[in-house]
């Protein structure tokens, strides 16, 4: 980026997030130098958000800063990792002080909450595109993956699902919500809560885990494929918010919380022998933890209502789908 690039970096990104003593070199050199504690594995993920694709062009910059970090922390949570360091690659259409201030504030607040340090990045000019690469730590050999769900395991969800999907319907004018309801679900869409503590609490207990970015059905599908198993989900067991409950019928019924994305809850599978341990580990956190179905050996995903009716499920959003 032209002239003010270094000023911009120094002003807005040199001191963002937490200060950690495992950062030997942070922003300002050619690269960062980070100390992975002995006995730990490094977990790395990256997520990009493109204006007009991942968020509407008029999204508040503070929300963009929050969500960009949140979606990355959510991936670390799904692996059971403790977040540590992030890099930030920013492509900006212009040098807009007000935008940078608000974006940095949203990013910083969540970074502080999770003791995350911004240790480097890149700044360029172009259509608004933002990438975070996040690094987390797990005790060596203890990472949680999508691959080890077994028939008989119980399927659980953190929090509630469907609110972000409801917000999208409201944004697309497909559903007219009263002001308070609209604000509540927009907050879920724009400021998701990464389930960082839940991910670490369930590490060593869950047999598989994934974060729900594309929808319960689609993301559970990834676990089934990687683990070589099938599942039955009882749609009416899905945990939903009071607002979602109020608008469930208008929004098309249980298919919405089953298939809508962007909620960033954790979906985990728990061996029956560890069910009590999982519930105890989650009971001390301020986060709902709800049984929604069973892993079985028949390939595929069956979603059913309590009266036995099967629900057709559609997949998540595919950027390269036709
Ligand atoms: P180089 O040309 O050597 O890649 P840059 O000018 O891109 O260096 O970056 C200078 C320093 O600022 C580096 O430490 C880089 O990691 C950091 N940096 C650049 N952009 C950002 C950003 N958006 N957020 C955090 N750090 C950044
Ligand atoms: Mg660079």
Section 185-214 average pLDDT: 98
Whether 58 is in the pocket of ligand 1, judged by its Cβ within 6 Å, is no
Residue 82: pLDDT band by 50, 70, 90 thresholds? very high
Section 75-102 average pLDDT: 97
Ligand 1 pocket mutation, candidates 5, 120, 129, criterion most atoms within 8 A of CB: 120
Residue nearest to atom 7 of ligand 1 (CA): 122
Please, is 251 exposed, middle or buried when counting C-beta atoms within 10 Å of its C-beta (0-12, 13-18, 19+)? Answer: buried
pLDDT at position 317 is: 57
Residue 319: pLDDT band by 50, 70, 90 thresholds? low
Whether 88 is in the pocket of ligand 1, judged by its Cβ within 6 Å, is yes
Whether 117 is in the pocket of ligand 1, judged by its Cβ within 6 Å, is no
Check pLDDT > 90 for residue 74.
Answer: yes
Residue 13 Cα, ligand 1 centroid: separation in angstroms? 9
Ligand index nearest the alpha carbon of residue 103: 1
Check pLDDT > 60 for residue 316.
Answer: no
Check pLDDT > 80 for residue 280.
Answer: yes
Whether 9 is in the pocket of ligand 1, judged by its Cβ within 6 Å, is yes
Residue 105 Cα, ligand 2 centroid: separation in angstroms? 23
pLDDT at position 4 is: 81
Section 182-189 average pLDDT: 98
Residue nearest to atom 9 of ligand 1 (CA): 122
Residue nearest to atom 4 of ligand 1 (CA): 30
Section 227-253 average pLDDT: 97
Residue nearest to atom 27 of ligand 1 (CA): 121
pLDDT tens string 252-272: 999 999 999 999 999 999 999
Residue 33 Cα, ligand 2 centroid: separation in angstroms? 15
Ligand 1 pocket mutation, candidates 10, 30, 122, criterion most atoms within 8 A of CB: 122
pLDDT at position 131 is: 98
Residue 203: pLDDT band by 50, 70, 90 thresholds? very high
**Which atom of ligand 1 sits closest to the CA of residue 123?**
20
Check pLDDT > 90 for residue 314.
Answer: no
Section 243-251 average pLDDT: 97
Section 276-300 average pLDDT: 97
pLDDT tens string 5-64: 888 888 899 989 999 999 999 999 999 999 999 999 999 999 999 999 999 999 999 999
Check pLDDT > 80 for residue 322.
Answer: no
Residue 14 Cα, ligand 2 centroid: separation in angstroms? 14
Residue 149 Cα, ligand 1 centroid: separation in angstroms? 41
Residue 31 Cα, ligand 2 centroid: separation in angstroms? 9
pLDDT tens string 106-146: 999 999 999 999 999 999 999 999 999 999 999 999 999 99
- Residues around ligand 2, an ion, CB closer than 5 A: 122
**What is the pLDDT of the chain when averaged over all its residues?**
95
pLDDT at position 5 is: 83
Please state the pTM of the whole predicted model: 0.95
Residue nearest to atom 13 of ligand 1 (CA): 28
């Amino acid at each position: 980026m032209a002239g003010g690039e270094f000023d911009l970096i120094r002003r807005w990104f040199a001191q963002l997030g937490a200060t950690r003593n495992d950062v030997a070199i942070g922003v300002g050199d050619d690269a960062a130098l980070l100390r992975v504690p002995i006995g730990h594995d490094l977990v790395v993920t990256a997520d990009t958000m493109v204006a007009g694709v991942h968020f509407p062009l008029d999204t508040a910059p503070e929300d963009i800063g929050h969500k960009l970090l949140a979606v990355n922390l959510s991936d670390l949570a799904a692996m059971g990792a403790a977040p540590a360091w992030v890099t930030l690659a920013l492509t900006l259409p212009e040098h807009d002080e007000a935008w940078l201030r608000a974006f940095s504030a949203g990013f910083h607040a969540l970074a502080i909450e999770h003791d995350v340090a911004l240790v480097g990045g890149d700044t360029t000019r172009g259509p608004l595109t933002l990438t975070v690469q996040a690094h987390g730590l797990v005790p060596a050999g203890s990472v949680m993956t999508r691959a080890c769900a077994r028939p008989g395991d119980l399927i659980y969800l953190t929090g509630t699902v469907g609110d972000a999907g409801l917000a999208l319907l409201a944004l697309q004018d497909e559903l007219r919500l009263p002001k308070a309801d609209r604000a509540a679900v927009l907050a879920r869409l724009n400021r998701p809560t990464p389930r960082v503590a839940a991910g670490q609490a369930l590490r060593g207990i869950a047999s598989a885990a994934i974060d729900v970015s594309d929808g319960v059905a689609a993301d559970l599908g990834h676990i089934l494929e990687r683990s070589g198993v099938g599942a039955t989900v009882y749609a009416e067991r899905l945990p939903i918010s009071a607002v979602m409950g109020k608008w469930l019928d208008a929004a098309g019924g249980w298919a919405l919380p089953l298939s809508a994305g962007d909620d960033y809850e954790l979906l985990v599978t728990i061996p029956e022998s560890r069910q009590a341990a999982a519930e105890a580990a989650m009971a001390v956190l301020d986060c709902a933890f709800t049984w929604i179905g069973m892993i079985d050996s028949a390939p595929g995903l069956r979603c059913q209502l309590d009266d036995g009716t099967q629900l057709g499920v559609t997949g998540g959003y595919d950027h390269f789908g036709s």
